[in-house]
């Protein structure tokens, strides 16, 4: 089966199972989304959603965040892992947003990727979810599914992203990104995967 055919089957199933996938990270602005996505690195969305209400109660703008000490931020986000590094990135990027962007989150990949602690995937999520720009953020879930479904044999997420963008319509990238994450968690885990119970893998086999 050609990759394009696989992609068509996959998208039809994803649209049926997750027609309107919600954004899994709780946020109320581009800034709080940026912080939540940064915290989600090597941490579950569920854990981030437990931590951010307290953080955002204290500071949900760059101006409020820089008034907190590194230690205060770290103490709140400790259970997200890498707390020292993430706390420094959160405070430092907040200072940069104030100094260079009037306290606003920039809406380009290039500007976002220059912020401390913000990699390509985080930047892609922000421009997609906060600004509605066409992007296809690839995390470990999506990277794994793309390989399992025969859509990409890439060894890194950057090339997987490029491969997926060629296979799916640009207008659907944002929705597909979320659909694939939800699908991976519910039907297609890394371990204990059963093809018979996986609608897409069984359809492709």
Looking at 58, 88, 92, 121, which residue is catalytic? 121
Percent of the chain with pLDDT over 70: 100
Q: Whole-angstrom Cα distance, residue 11 to residue 149?
A: 12
pLDDT of 95: 98
Indicate the average pLDDT of the chain: 95
Tens of pLDDT, residue by residue over 122-169, are 999 999 999 999 999 999 899 999 999 999 999 999 999 999 999 999
pLDDT of 177: 96
> Average pLDDT, stretch 11-32?
96
pTM (predicted TM-score): 0.91
Looking at 58, 88, 110, 139, which residue is catalytic? 139
**pLDDT above 90: residue 1:** no
**pLDDT above 90: residue 205:** no
Q: Whole-angstrom Cα distance, residue 10 to residue 46?
A: 26
**pLDDT above 90: residue 24:** yes
> Average pLDDT, stretch 15-20?
97
From the CB of residue 4, how many other CB atoms can be counted at a distance below 10 Å?
11
pLDDT of 202: 95
| C-beta of residue 197 within 8 angstroms of C-beta of residue 187 | yes
Active site residue 92: no
Domains of the chain: 3-21+135-204 (1.10.1670.10), 30-129 (1.10.340.30)
Q: Whole-angstrom Cα distance, residue 98 to residue 154?
A: 38
Tens of pLDDT, residue by residue over 30-84, are 999 999 999 998 899 999 999 999 999 999 999 999 999 999 999 999 999 999 9
Active site residue 60: no
From the CB of residue 132, how many other CB atoms can be counted at a distance below 10 Å?
10
**pLDDT above 90: residue 178:** yes
């Amino acid at each position: 089966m050609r990759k394009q055919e696989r992609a068509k089957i996959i998208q039809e199933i994803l649209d049926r199972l997750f027609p309107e996938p919600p954004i899994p990270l709780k946020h109320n602005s581009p800034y709080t989304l940026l912080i939540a996505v940064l915290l989600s690195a090597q941490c579950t969305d569920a854990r981030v959603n437990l931590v951010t209400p307290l953080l955002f109660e204290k500071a949900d703008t760059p101006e409020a965040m820089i008034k907190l000490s590194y230690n205060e931020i770290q103490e709140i986000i400790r259970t997200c892992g890498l707390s020292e590094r993430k706390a420094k990135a959160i405070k430092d990027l907040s200072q940069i947003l104030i100094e260079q962007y009037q306290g606003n989150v920039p809406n380009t990949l290039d500007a976002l990727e220059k912020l401390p602690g913000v990699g390509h995937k985080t930047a892609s999520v922000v421009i997609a979810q906060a600004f509605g720009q066409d992007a296809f953020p690839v995390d470990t879930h999506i990277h794994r599914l793309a390989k399992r479904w025969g859509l990409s044999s890439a060894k890194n997420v950057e090339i997987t992203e490029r491969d997926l963008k060629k296979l799916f319509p640009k207008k659907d990238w944002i929705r597909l990104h979320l659909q694939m994450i939800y699908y991976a968690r519910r039907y297609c885990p890394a371990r204990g995967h059963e093809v018979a119970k996986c609608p897409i893998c069984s359809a492709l086999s």
